[in-house]
Amino acid sequence: MGMLEGKTAIITGAGRGLGHEEALAMAREGCNLVINDLGAAFDGSGAETKVADQVAEECKKLGVKAVANYDSVTDFNKAKAMIDQAISEFGKLDILVNNAGILRDRMLFNMSEQEFDDVIAVHLKGTFNMTRHAAAYFREKGKANEALGNFGRVINTASDAGLTGNVGQTNYGAAKAGIAAFTMNAAAELKKYATVNCIVPLARTRLTTDATPQMVEIMNKLDETGLDVFNPTNVAPMVVFLASDNAKKINGEVFRVVADRVMLFQGWHTVNQIKNDHKPFTPQLIAERIRELMKGAPKKENLYALLGDLVKM
């Protein structure tokens, strides 16, 4: 019996890359699925319904029920319709995986308003839209049957661009940092009915190859044992775990997942302080003591240092 036997999940952006591998991994564990994907290019342009259809068929071949959905997560009402579709098709909803995303990379001084708005809309607003409607369902069902406990599962997707930073991605980074913060707040609000957690994948997808050609060589590297470090299949098991009943006590956490590693992130927290003996600081005194404050802070995590630790750059 699979870890997700008889459960129902929606996975957004499930047509390719991470979402595709998450869908297959969840199907292997017995989960019925709504496969959502516009079939768009990595920048959000275009649409091709067969992308979601093909993944739904793959999942069916693994012995579960699956249906396709082609709507955009940016539409509040269509997000609600997606929740309703899962309930109509399978009688319930247990799991939501927010994975849909696009890239519109640009240096800040060249970025258009539309490039900022579109990325925020898909990642951050899309995560809100889907989670908001799922949350209402989880709460309604949980209040009607308290024996269910925190039966719902929400798994969001953030990025190192938002948590450690990356050049050319102020829009994407802001959205992903927002998703991590959204996760922590939503987890506190929904803890009676659902868990809300977040993954930070490092994987080979269209967003790390097609959108950023300079990353292609790195993303295809193997480690010294021959492990395909950035294969998206490496990420999917963590999503399956977080979607399962085994994760009912894991809530509001952010995990980086790559290769053979799962890393626990800790968010903003105080790392050092200076005091002024019960008197307010003056700007001049801050200028004198700022080195003291900064000297005690740990070195910031760097994405490229992490990549170098995983594979020879």
The single residue of 7, 70, 159, 244 carrying the catalytic annotation is: 159
The single residue of 70, 137, 172, 193 carrying the catalytic annotation is: 172
Tokens of 104: 């519109």
Q: Are 199 and 255 in contact (CB under 8 A)?
A: yes
The single residue of 176, 191, 248, 300 carrying the catalytic annotation is: 176
With both helix axes pointing from N to C terminus, report the angle between 126-144 and 170-190 in degrees, rounded to the nearest 10: 10
Q: How far apart are CA 182 and CA 175, in angstroms?
A: 10
Q: How far apart are CA 272 and CA 50, in angstroms?
A: 53
Q: How far apart are CA 267 and CA 251, in angstroms?
A: 14
Would you give the DSSP letter of residue 238?
Answer: H
The reply to whether 125 belongs to the active site is no
The reply to whether 159 belongs to the active site is yes
Helix, strand, coil percentages for the chain (3-state, nearest 5): 45, 15, 40
Tokens of 96: 């939501």
The reply to whether 92 belongs to the active site is no
Residues forming the active site: 159, 172, 176
